[in-house]
Amino acid sequence: MDNVPKVRIIVICFAVVCQLKPYDSSKHNLKDMYRLFPFLRWLPELRSSQVFRADLVAGITVAMVLIPQAMAYAELAGLPAVYGLYAAFLPPAIAALFGSSRHLATGPVAMASLISAATVQSAVPAGSALYIEYALLLALMVGAIRLLLGVLRLGVLVNLLSTPVVVGFTNAAALIIATSQLHKVFGVEAPKASTHLEVVWGVLERGFGDLHYETLGMSLLAGVLLVVLRWRLPRWPHVLIAAAITSLVAWLSGYSGHLVGEVPVGLPGLVIPDFRMDAIGRLLPGAVVLTLIGLMEAMAIAKTIATHTKQRININQELVGQGVANLVGGCFQSYAVSGSFSRSAINFASGARTGFSSLVTSVVVGVTLLWFTPLLYYLPQATLAMIIIVAVAQLVRFTPLLNSWRISRHDGLVGVVTFVTTLIAAPELHWGVVLGVSMSFVLNIYRTMHPHAAFLTRHLDGTLREGGATGLAADQKIAILRFDGRLYFGSSSYFEDLVLESIARAPELRYLVVDAEGINQIDASGEQTLRAVIQRLREVGIDVYFTRAKSQFTDVLERSGAMEYIGRDHFFRWNQHALEYLWARLEPEYKAHCPLNMPHPQQRTKTCNEYYI
């Protein structure tokens, strides 16, 4: 493909970003300008020398952490270290200009690097001639998807990833990232294998047999420096200090392990990869996963910081910012990028006030590419490996998985299955997300088809509670059924089964009271089931009444004519009103000994003070 169609594609992408239309003062107001160019909100604040100085310091501080991290993450992505610097050059500035968060630090991150490597390696072998081109194409695809979602206001799609899916995937990915660096820690070659677990096992075998002690020592030195500096001097650029010290040690000691070596000098040039349909088809699943996971991370980071700054975060605007950052970066030799939690936290802690701090970060990275890359020659690969391992160690959190299990067995199962599948399927990481999301949908549908329901009895404190919770006897002539869910085609059969159960529980049943407070929706199937159930019950001498019904429920009955069929006098605001009405229709003395009546004083015990527990 020649360069003319490529340029046309890029121009079209930028036209979508800006939503270009002929200027019309009657249609374009200040709000439109802020939506198209969000940086106009904070740009005037730079007139304050205090804000400018704070952003300048924060931007330089983040750059000191970003430069060694970016090189490490590029290695994780299977690319030469310089591509990490390319990814750290333009994307931070572009994302700050077009995103909604003032503090989100965009650039190379561990999770995006891992997914990028896994996705590209599923299409072409690592180290092949097409590997770099496919990595850049993936960045453009991720940018296009994010941009499209943002322009179409589809940021809500990120909610497809439930918390158990994200937690399970993140834990598995963190372990994969850490173990993928073991060969650099031990100083051995990683064997070729079809799965990540086989590769790790091979590295461990070689590590015990052919361990390179100098490399292991350098790894331990770097690890100790990173941990101790972050613990004792948290505001210092501990990553840069560890990189500088280990580089100095490698230079002075004649270190025989692997070094970063020569890093090309100069800014990245415009390189647009070929848009091959077969390549796009292979990379698309990973691009979708990277889009959703990356956005989930970015929004979590931005919202966390926004709780302190009281800033409003727009998920669709953030999609646009992240999309443009990847599109522009992909054209200038950057692989896929996303928001970084650690660098965003540093940006905020360093006093950043606006997105200008990210522009400063980009300038510092550009200066490094122009004049300071020779200083990176002696940086040990073992140091880069430890930077990655220490960074992802904080992502391993099994407590949320345990909490999900305690809260809901279904959620816990989804998290565990996502975790195990991601580990086993690696490097095909998207299968973990696909299976986790699919299970979430299936289990959610199952829950809506079998919502919580209970037959209520009178507790000693006078409240109506679930019969199983109180252990009190149910009334034989009046049953109160509370249905806590939608009455739709999926749950209507379950509702019918519950009604039949009420008849089986009380052969002498005369009245069934449906506590409809939990019914938020009813469709045509639910309405037909309701009619059929009422008709069959009336045929056997049982009448049905409704209490606490919401307008979403009664409005449908009004439109369908079911309200007239059931009878308006069969609807009550409260359960007690319905009971009083039904007791009046039974024998005069029935109310006195009805289990659903208020307990007599002699029946009250100390448990009457236990109101809701």
pLDDT value of position 9: 53
Token duo for residue 447: 């829950």
**Sequential DSSP letters for 121-149:** HTTS-TTSTTHHHHHHHHHHHHHHHHHHH
271 in Cβ contact with 134 (< 8 Å): no
Report which of 107, 168, 97 is spatially closest to residue 434, judged by C-alpha positions.
Answer: 168
Instruction: Give tens-digit pLDDT for 399-455.
Output: 988 999 999 999 999 999 999 999 998 888 888 988 999 999 999 999 999 999 999
Domain boundaries, the chain: 3-417, 452-609
Q: How far apart are CA 306 and CA 294, in angstroms?
A: 18
- Hey, what amino acid is at 562? A
Q: Report cis status (omega within 30 of 0) of the bond before 22.
A: no
pLDDT in tens, 553-605: 999 999 999 999 999 999 999 999 999 999 999 988 888 888 888 754 444 44
Collapsed DSSP state (helix, strand, coil) of residue 313: coil
pLDDT at residue number 29: 63
DSSP string, 107-119: E--HHHHHHHHHH
pLDDT of 555 reads 95
314 Ramachandran zone, left/alpha/beta (phi>0; psi -120 to 50): beta
Q: What is the pLDDT of residue 31?
A: 67
User: Which pLDDT score, from 0 to 100, does residue 299 have?
Assistant: 76
Q: What is the DSSP letter of 465?
A: E
CATH 3.40.50.300 fits 452-609, yes or no: no
- Looking at residue 40, its amino acid is L
Provide the pLDDT for residue 472.
65
Low-confidence residues of the chain: pLDDT under 50: 1, 4, 7, 11-12, 14-27, 600-613
Residue 468: the pLDDT is 62
| Tokens matching residue 287 | 């691009």
pTM: 0.80
Give the max Cα distance, the chain: 102
Torsion sign across C-alpha atoms 519, 525, 527, 528: negative
